[in-house]
Homo-oligomer: A and B are copies of this chain.
């Protein structure tokens, strides 16, 4: 548009599906916006603003508080939206509009044989947070309640990566999707290299999702502009494949959260 690339994303959250029933609306508002900003981050885009759809409920002032928190933290304007009446489970939507800072914006389709595979942060933190919140444990649940979109990291990476996406539905599933989108490549992951928040529950950590870390591929000799961990490499294959410690995995093996 006018020589600039617009990046658009929309996510809807449903009470009892994407957030716990009865969860603090301030956390819901934060997460609603953050997961959309995370999609912009994966495109290396600067947020232009968001539109929010809010189903009126009993604690709307808390929703407004969380919205204010997240928009203030990331300096993103609220451009509009809609409030509606409704019954039953709450439903909330967010559309985020961004401006690409690098053209073409990274996609999930560009991984090439010879690239290394990287991920930021540690996986499984949201799972630990979710369980703490659900079970009322005295453990920090903020990784689940208040994920942080990696906007600065995404912009720094955008000019250098061959493919990028955020890990929303589990590392293995999102690696599979990136390999599938990229074509005739296999993603070979080494489990010993994958950073997780709970090593004793490794298999769950790499499948659970909701961490909103950045998964990306880049030439093996790239000096990374952000802190990230090399978790494997991309190799040539007859068709898209995902291998963990040499073992081929497919979506039938339960790679992540499908919804």
Which residues of A line the B interface, CB within 8 A? Answer: 1-4, 6, 8-14, 16-18, 48-49, 51-53, 55, 79-82, 84-89, 91, 93, 95, 97, 99, 259
What is the CA–CA distance of A71 and B8 in the complex, to the nearest angstrom?
A: 18
Contact A8 B80 (CB under 8 A): yes
**Inter-subunit contact A88/B87 (CB<8 Å):** yes
Query: Which single residue of chain B is at the shortest CB-CB distance from A39?
Result: B80
Of chain B, the residue at the smallest CB distance from A79 is B8
The answer on a CB contact under 8 Å between A9 and B84 is no
Contact check, A51 vs B95: say whether CB atoms are below 8 A apart: yes
Cβ–Cβ < 8 Å partners of A18 in chain B: 84
Check B91 against A10 for contact (C-beta < 8 Å): no
Contacts of A11 in B (CB 8 A): 82
User: Which residue of chain B has the shortest Cβ distance to A52 in the bound complex?
Assistant: B10
Oligomer: number of copies:
2
Lowest 4 CB-CB distances: which A-B pairs, in order? A2-B2, A88-B88, A2-B4, A95-B95
Cα-based distance from A85 to B16 in the complex (angstroms) = 10
A17 & B85 in contact (Cβ 8 Å cutoff): yes
Residue of A3, A11, A16, A84 with most chain B CB atoms under a 10 A cut-off: A84
C-alpha spacing A49/B1, complex, angstroms: 12
Interface pair A12/B93, CB less than 8 Å apart: yes
Contact call A53/B12, Cβ cutoff below 8 A = yes
Q: Is the CB of B91 within 8 A of A17?
A: no
CA distance A16 to B55 in the complex (A): 14
Whether the Cβ atoms of A93 and B4 lie closer than 8 Å is no
Q: Are B95 and A10 in contact (CB under 8 A)?
A: yes
On whether A53 and B85 interact (CB within 8 A), knowing A6-B1, A8-B80, A80-B10, the answer reads no
Cα of A82 to Cα of B97 in the assembled complex, Å:
15
State the CA gap A131–B84 with chains docked (Å): 22
Chain B nearest CB, measured from A257 CB (Å): 12
Q: Cβ of A86 and Cβ of B95 under 8 Å apart?
A: no
Q: Using Cβ atoms and an 8 Å threshold, which residues of chain B touch A1?
A: 1-2, 4, 6, 48, 99
The complex places the Cα of A81 from the Cα of B94 at a distance, in Å, of 10
Residues of B near A10 (CB, < 8 A) are: 51-53, 80-82, 93, 95
* A55 / chain B contacts, CB cutoff of 8 Å: 12, 14, 91
Given contacts A4-B2, A48-B1, A95-B95, contact A86 B84 (CB under 8 A): no
